[in-house]
Amino acid sequence: MQDFIRLKSLLSVVLKSGLPAKGYFRVGLFLLAALIVQQSTGWQWTLLTGLQDDNTYKLTTGFGLLALILYQWRFSVKRAQGEQRKAATMMGRHKLFGALFPLFFLSHSQILGYGYLGILSLTLLLAFLTGLFNFQIVTIHKSWYRPAWISAHVGLSMALLLLMAYHVYIDYAFK
């Protein structure tokens, strides 16, 4: 019980004040390494496979992914609306949720999929990867670096929205 209370207060501190930039980087890199091992060995968690056979579960986790990706866009909207203070808090959450994306992905699917599904999964992982290697981590003091980084990160996030819309149309609305 005490451990649970400690974990709860740790989580609320992380959500309010955030981790240092390297903290998200390490968490993200660890989860990415775990995902690469899982994909290359083909290992699957039987309990999760059972759940994923259920269409309602797939839909729920699919909508969960959709909500999280829209949340990742939210801080950019807040910043555009001039809410700088709120945008700063949201940036911490953006990095935290972003770094946990391999876990969110696995909850939806344990395979990357074929054809356009493979492209969708890789786009998600590349958006995640560019996010991890942001300008706070990779300090290249060249004028082109930050614009190039942001174009890649936002471009992949836009492609993600389009591919996701196609996925929902083909695998859900169409059925």
Residues that bind ligand HEM (CB under 6 A): 24, 28, 52, 58-59, 62-63, 65-66, 69, 72-73, 76, 94-95, 98-99, 101, 105, 108-109, 111-113, 117, 120-121, 124, 127-128, 131-132, 134, 150, 153-154, 157, 160, 164, 167-168, 171-172
Smallest distance, Å, CB 3 to ligand HEM?
27
Between 37 and 169, CB nearer to ligand HEM:
169
Nearest to 97 by CA among 133, 78, 59, 70: 70
Between 35 and 94, CB nearer to ligand HEM:
94
Smallest distance, Å, CB 91 to ligand HEM?
7
User: Which amino acid belongs to residue 165?
Assistant: A
Smallest distance, Å, CB 8 to ligand HEM?
23
Between 35 and 160, CB nearer to ligand HEM:
160
Distance of alpha carbon 156 from alpha carbon 144, whole angstroms = 18
Measuring CA to CA, how many Å separate 68 from each of 23, 27, 85, 171? Answer: 20, 18, 21, 19
Smallest distance, Å, CB 141 to ligand HEM?
17
For the chain, the straight-line distance linking the first and the last C-alpha, in angstroms and rounded, comes to: 46
Which alpha helices (H) appear in the chain, and where do they start and end? Answer: 2-17, 21-41, 46-52, 55-80, 84-99, 101-108, 116-132, 145-168
Smallest distance, Å, CB 5 to ligand HEM?
28
Q: Which two tokens stand for residue 21?
A: 């930039």
